[in-house]
Amino acid sequence: MNPATRRGFLGLVSGSAAILLPARHARAAADAPASSIDNACILTPQSEEGPYYIDPKLVRSDIVEGRPGVPLALRLRVIEAGPCTPITGARVDIWQCDARGIYSAFPGQGDGHNIDTSSKTFLRGTQPADATGWAEFKTIYPGWYAGRATHIHFKIYLDERTVLTGQTFFPEALNEFIYTNVPDYAQGRTKQRYVMNVNDRVAAGADPEHQAYCAVKEERERYVALLTLAVDRNPKQSADADHSPPAGGPPRRATLIKDRLAALVPGLKRSPL
């Protein structure tokens, strides 16, 4: 990859974070007092757990376990919806696929459904939120698998109760750039990526207002993804139950993207579908 080209593109993406993503999350990215974060206090929407959650009881910030990929720091802030107060000590779980769309701990992975990672624990971990509500994980930029847009799963627990289950999504222009330029994400792939944020049934159905889309910025040796999660301390229901097909299995029904550029670049005056 040409370093000058990379720097130019990343500068465009990181400099446009407040435009690419909801303003509530651009504001929440700054470590300011919670009372000053206006719309970030709106309840974060629940989303499906998906088929690949386990609790390996790994309290750790570094979840990479040697998996190749673009370095990423994921910073999640847990606050109470309404008053915007940080929730100290909230348990934050995350899990994600690797650069080739593979999750740990399950068989039948990969484009050929022939990779067994049952004994692995990569890209899974738990962290307690600190005094200001933040939990940070050292990970890699997630890859993709058939039928889904790029995402990372999360769960938030208070006193062993699940108060939020969801997924965070990434800017499509950056996804496309990484997947087409970084060998770790392209080598050995036998399928084409055709599901993006705009036609992913979870992103479009559970989060049409993009409240759980993360803001991404560039640091010297990594990307940083930031998201504020506003939770209800006494939720009436949980999004734990899920019967969705496994990653790498039959693709989920998705609307065909007719204009790929419009799907990649927000704000273009033409429809991607």
Each residue's pLDDT, cut to its tens digit, for the chain (273 residues) gives 544 444 444 444 433 333 333 434 434 444 444 334 456 789 999 999 999 999 999 999 999 999 999 999 999 999 999 999 999 999 999 999 999 999 999 999 999 899 999 999 999 999 999 999 999 999 999 999 999 999 999 999 998 888 999 999 999 999 999 999 999 999 888 888 999 999 999 998 889 999 999 999 999 999 999 999 999 988 765 444 443 444 444 445 677 888 888 888 888 877 787
Q: What is the pLDDT of residue 80?
A: 95
Instruction: Judge contact between 49 and 202, C-beta under 8 A.
Output: no
Nearest of 139, 142, 159 to residue 151 by alpha carbon: 142
| Burial zone of 162 (CB within 10 Å; 0-12 exposed, 13-18 middle, 19+ buried) | middle
Q: What is the pLDDT of residue 38?
A: 53
Mode of pairing for the β-strands spanning 215-218 and 223-231 = antiparallel
| Number of CB atoms found within 10 A of residue 105's CB | 18
Q: How far apart are the C-alpha atoms of 33 and 57, rounded to whole Å?
A: 31
Q: Which residue type is seen at 199? A: N
Q: Which residues lie closer than 8 Å to 114 by C-beta, 6 or more apart?
A: 108
pTM: 0.82
Instruction: Kindly tell me the sign of the dihedral angle through the C-alpha atoms of 189, 260, 198, 273.
Output: negative
Q: Which residues lie closer than 8 Å to 239 by C-beta, 6 or more apart?
A: 46, 47, 48, 49, 164, 165, 166
Q: Which residues lie closer than 8 Å to 65 by C-beta, 6 or more apart?
A: 120, 121, 122, 123
Q: What count of Cα atoms within 13 Å lies in the side-chain half-sphere of residue 73?
A: 14
Q: Which residues lie closer than 8 Å to 16 by C-beta, 6 or more apart?
A: none
Domains observed in the chain: 3-264 (2.60.130.10)
